[in-house]
Amino acid sequence: MKELPLTVRRSIELIGICLLGALLSIGNDIIMPVLMAFFLSIVLLPLYRFLRAWKFPEFLSILLPILLGAVFIAGVIWFFSAQISILAADFPQIQKNVNYHLNNISDWINNKTDFSTKEQIKFLNDQSNKLLTNAGNIIGGAAGSITSAFIFIGLVPIYIYLFLSYKNLLLRFVFVWFEPDQHKKVKEVMKETEIIIKSYLIGLLIQIAYITVLLGGILLLLDIKHALLIGVIFALLNLIPYVGALIGNLLGVMLTLTSSQELLPIFTVLGVIAIVQFLDNNILMPRIVGSKVKINAFAAILGVFIAGSLAGISGMFLALPLVAVLKIIFDRSNIFKPWGILLGDENPVKSPMRFPKLRMSSKKVDKELKIENDITPLEKRQNNK
């Protein structure tokens, strides 16, 4: 069979990406619970194998890991709800602090501009009326979101059970899809995908725990109100790469502003968050998750925003593992290898415009770039030497 011209192949790839995005956008309510269940079933797979090795019935070997996961999630929700209740109990003081800060802002605006207090009050009243006018739509949308969330939570355990029950059937389907001479690569992709997903998601659970303890504990020692709530919110939002940390900082500042009339606690919160983030990004998380697959920051941020626009919050949470899995597949495919290069972190120090060998896709150049970017493990570097 005659090979298609390069321009035709690239056009088909781009059309395929557009169709995949459209499919995810249209069917995200169906696809996202399935993807979430797929990732979680891989995380629960070691426990399932352990129970099966101890001669547990298959039904119990699947059900027990799901129940343990449900208990863990219920514990997180209970802890978060308890912190929200403490915040609600302080509402009168919060209202007083908010009024204090609003008055200070109003005085500053009066001193710096011609916008009088009367005009400011009129502006706030107009905005409040608009907010009340749209309240019905907001409540309706929130009710719809809550309903979707409950459906999502209800479907995920069912899908996990089915994935673990029919894993051998699904594996056989994947192998039959490819020619026998491709089975070795398919097996490598599946093994590496399992390792990446397990290390990433288990690493995230550990990350939530130590960020909550570190950030919440330090703020608690420094006598910052709602310290544990700030720690939990930041830990959960930090699961959304890059964007979550920024939102977490803003919410931390807002919670501190509502609980204090002084500015020092705000700088304290920002300083502690910066220290915890530094420890997390440079010391703790790299050691926990490891460096199995490196995704460049541009691809990661773009992936988060695209996944968020197509599939909402759940898409943002799953963006990085999805990109990592795609990179594993692309790297082992001759057709899609350029896309693996685009997603990767093997950034050449020299320009491909001046060094022709960097324009080629070769294993030797790939190894050199991995060593150059500190991606290849030390023992492999020594072997290469």
60: left (phi over 0), alpha (psi -120 to 50) or beta: alpha
**385 residues of the chain, pLDDT tens digit each:** 456 677 777 788 788 878 887 887 788 888 888 888 998 898 888 899 999 889 889 899 999 999 988 888 888 778 777 777 776 776 666 666 666 666 666 666 666 666 655 555 665 555 555 544 554 443 444 344 455 666 777 888 999 999 999 999 998 998 998 888 888 888 888 888 888 888 778 888 888 888 888 898 898 888 887 788 888 888 888 877 767 778 888 877 777 777 666 777 878 888 888 888 888 877 777 676 655 567 787 888 888 888 888 877 778 878 888 888 888 888 877 778 888 888 888 778 777 888 777 777 777 777 777 777 776 554 454 454 4
Is residue 160 within 8 Å of 201, Cβ to Cβ?
Answer: no
Q: Which of 310, 30, 315, 320 is nearest to 159 (CA)?
A: 30
pTM for the complete prediction? Answer: 0.75
DSSP string, 60-72: HHHHHHHHHHHHH
Give the tokens for residue 147: 């309903």
CA 264/CA 311 separation, integer angstroms: 39
| One-letter amino acid of 215 | L
Per-domain boundaries in the chain: 9-90+156-167, 187-291
CA 183/CA 311 separation, integer angstroms: 32
Name the phi and psi angles at 251, rounded to 5.
-70, -35
Give the tokens for residue 301: 């941020």
Helix, strand, coil share (%) of the chain residues, nearest 5: 85, 0, 15
Residue 374: beta bridge partners? Answer: none
